């Protein structure tokens, strides 16, 4: 059951899932679940989001989160993603290849209502279809990344393509989603290295702005 009930209304929806979870034993499952929650909490804090206000439905290897309207959409799809990617990379830096945590993430928005065993509404169905679609799974499987993100047309058209984030439109790839009864399109993104972007500073704790690193191919002796 969800952590707390919600009123019927329009919300941001965030769905996450750890790849390869089913192949682990009970000890690994407990470790993955604890690490995932810690990373989600820390990424939200760093992005100035408030997870204590989210209504979440755990699934062991992931969760479905319903965010209140007070949580800025651009921070979820931009700052939160960048911090989540950074934290996953930090976590994986000390792990062997087989133990790396690799995460799929889907974002959508729509009307959601409380139900007897969770949430009801087509928005809930759609974000789950996005999370499990073959395009997102293949992106994570074929990329050397710890995080693959998919957003719905609504999120892309309303926030990303309108310049409300630090992304360039080429950072997302349009894909076809054919998952059970869902037919449509969405947008897939593989995060890059966590750096300051061109459009606006990424939100960091305490108002700190990250410094853009010098490219590796710059000559050290250049004036």
Q: Residue-wise pLDDT tens for the chain (223 aa)?
A: 566 789 999 999 999 999 987 666 788 888 888 999 999 999 999 999 999 999 999 988 899 999 999 999 999 999 999 999 999 999 999 888 877 899 999 999 999 999 998 899 999 999 999 999 999 999 999 998 999 999 999 999 999 999 999 999 899 999 999 877 767 899 999 997 544 433 344 433 333 333 333 333 333 333 3
In this prediction, residue 210 carries a pLDDT of 37
Task: Kindly state the tokens that stand for 129.
Answer: 């279809």
Alpha-carbon distance of 23 to 40, in angstroms, equals 22
- Rounded to the nearest 10 degrees, the angle between the axes of helix 122-132 and helix 134-142 is 30
DSSP assignment string, 96-109: -GGG---EEEEEEE
Alpha-carbon distance of 142 to 144, in angstroms, equals 7
Alpha-carbon distance of 199 to 136, in angstroms, equals 26
In this prediction, residue 164 carries a pLDDT of 96
In this prediction, residue 148 carries a pLDDT of 97
Q: How many CB atoms lie within 10 A of CB 196?
A: 15
In this prediction, residue 98 carries a pLDDT of 76
């Amino acid at each position: 059951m969800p952590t707390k009930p919600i009123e019927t209304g329009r919300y941001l929806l965030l769905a996450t899932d750890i790849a390869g979870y089913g192949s682990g034993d009970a000890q690994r499952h407990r470790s993955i679940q604890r690490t995932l929650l810690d990373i989600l909490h820390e990424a939200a804090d760093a992005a100035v989001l408030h997870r204590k206000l989210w209504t979440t439905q755990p699934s062991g290897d992931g969760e479905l989160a319903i965010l209140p309207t007070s949580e800025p959409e651009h921070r979820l799809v931009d700052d939160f993603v960048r911090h989540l990617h950074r934290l996953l990379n930090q976590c994986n830096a000390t792990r062997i290849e087989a133990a790396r945590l690799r995460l799929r993430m889907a974002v959508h928005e729509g009307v959601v209502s409380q139900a007897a065993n969770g949430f009801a509404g087509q928005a809930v169905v759609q974000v789950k279809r996005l999370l499990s679609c073959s395009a997102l799974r293949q992106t994570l499987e074929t990329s050397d990344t710890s995080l693959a993100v998919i957003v719905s047309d609504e999120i892309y058209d309303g926030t990303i393509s309108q310049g409300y984030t630090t992304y360039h439109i080429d950072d997302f790839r349009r894909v076809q989603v054919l998952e059970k009864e869902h037919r449509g399109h969405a947008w897939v993104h593989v995060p890059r290295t966590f750096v300051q972007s061109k459009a606006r500073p990424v939100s960091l704790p305490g108002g700190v702005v990250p410094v853009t690193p010098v490219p590796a191919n710059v000559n050290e002796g250049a004036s």
